[in-house]
């Protein structure tokens, strides 16, 4: 039988990572945070002196990445990267390089390699539309820019980072526009994806919706 996949796509800070990780835990499935892969790639490029505008260099770097996920923790070459990839600067760098077709192609097989029994829950921008087009359940998870900025602001403050709410709203809107308009795998709701607006939902309610759709499938 085909290994089941729940693919949760959506804009930045929509809560898709939290929902995906909790759904994976509830089902006993593996979890893949595809956004973290782009963040780690940008992080590794900085450490190894590869310019973020060097598409060929980034693609070569990506093909040699040794990545492992343990829950929400990400390991690069056996070492945890921690909060170094969770800053706003890291997010902007990831969004920038995610528009590069050669890099996306290099990371495609790496991402598909996470599909292992008993199943996978993954989140990103194109998990259901490009990476796992045969996913058992596809979800497009979103929330208003203001609500997403509030969530990101709270998250950053709790981690000890400086944050400005107005700047976060503006940054999210710019990132949404960039992700939706890029030529390679733009952010959009797949025709067969369930729409899940979490603006007025709790995390538990959002997870229950996803698990319900999976049970129905």
In the chain the domains, ranked by start, together with CATH numbers, are 5-216 (3.40.50.300)
- What is the chain's alpha carbon radius of gyration, rounded to the nearest angstrom? 16
Q: In this structure, are residues 21 and 10 in contact, taking their beta carbons and an 8 Å threshold?
A: no
Separation in Å, CA 49 to CA 38, 41, 92: 16, 12, 18
Helices assigned H by DSSP within the chain: 16-27, 34-48, 55-63, 88-97, 101-112, 145-158, 165-181, 203-216
Apex CA 144: angle with CA 142 and CA 147, to 5°?
105
Per-residue burial over 126-143, b if 16 or more Cβ lie within 10 Å, else e, is bbbbbbbeebbbbbbbbb
pLDDT at 12: 84
Q: In this structure, are residues 4 and 139 in contact, taking their beta carbons and an 8 Å threshold?
A: no
**Average pLDDT score over residue span 143-171:** 91
Q: Is the pLDDT of residue 190 over 60?
A: yes
Mean pLDDT, all residues of the chain: 91
Q: Is the pLDDT of residue 1 over 80?
A: no
pLDDT at 178: 84
Each residue's pLDDT tens digit, 14-64:
999 999 999 999 999 999 999 889 999 999 999 999 999 999 999 999 999
Each residue's pLDDT tens digit, 66-125:
888 876 788 998 999 988 898 878 888 998 898 899 999 999 988 999 999 999 999 998
pLDDT at 99: 86
């Amino acid at each position: 039988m085909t290994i089941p996949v729940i693919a949760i796509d959506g804009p930045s800070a929509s809560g898709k990572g939290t929902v995906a990780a909790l759904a994976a835990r509830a089902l006993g499935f593996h979890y893949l945070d595809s956004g973290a892969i782009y963040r780690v790639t940008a992080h590794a490029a900085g450490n190894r002196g590869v310019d973020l505008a060097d598409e060929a260099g980034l693609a070569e770097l990506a093909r040699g990445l040794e990545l492992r996920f343990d829950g929400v923790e990400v390991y690069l070459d056996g070492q945890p990267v921690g909060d170094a990839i969770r800053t706003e600067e890291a997010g902007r760098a990831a969004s920038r390089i995610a528009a590069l077709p050669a890099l996306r192609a290099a990371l495609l097989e790496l991402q598909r390699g996470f599909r292992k029994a008993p199943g996978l829950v993954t989140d990103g921008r194109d998990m259901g539309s490009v990476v796992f087009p045969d996913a058992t359940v596809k979800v497009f998870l979103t929330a208003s820019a203001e609500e997403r900025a509030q969530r990101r602001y709270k998250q950053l403050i709790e981690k000890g980072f400086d944050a400005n709410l107005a700047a976060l709203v503006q940054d999210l809107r710019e990132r949404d526009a960039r992700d939706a308009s890029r030529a390679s795998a733009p952010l959009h709701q797949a025709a067969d994806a369930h729409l899940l607006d979490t603006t007025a939902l709790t995390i538990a309610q959002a997870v229950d919706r996803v698990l319900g759709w999976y049970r129905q499938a």
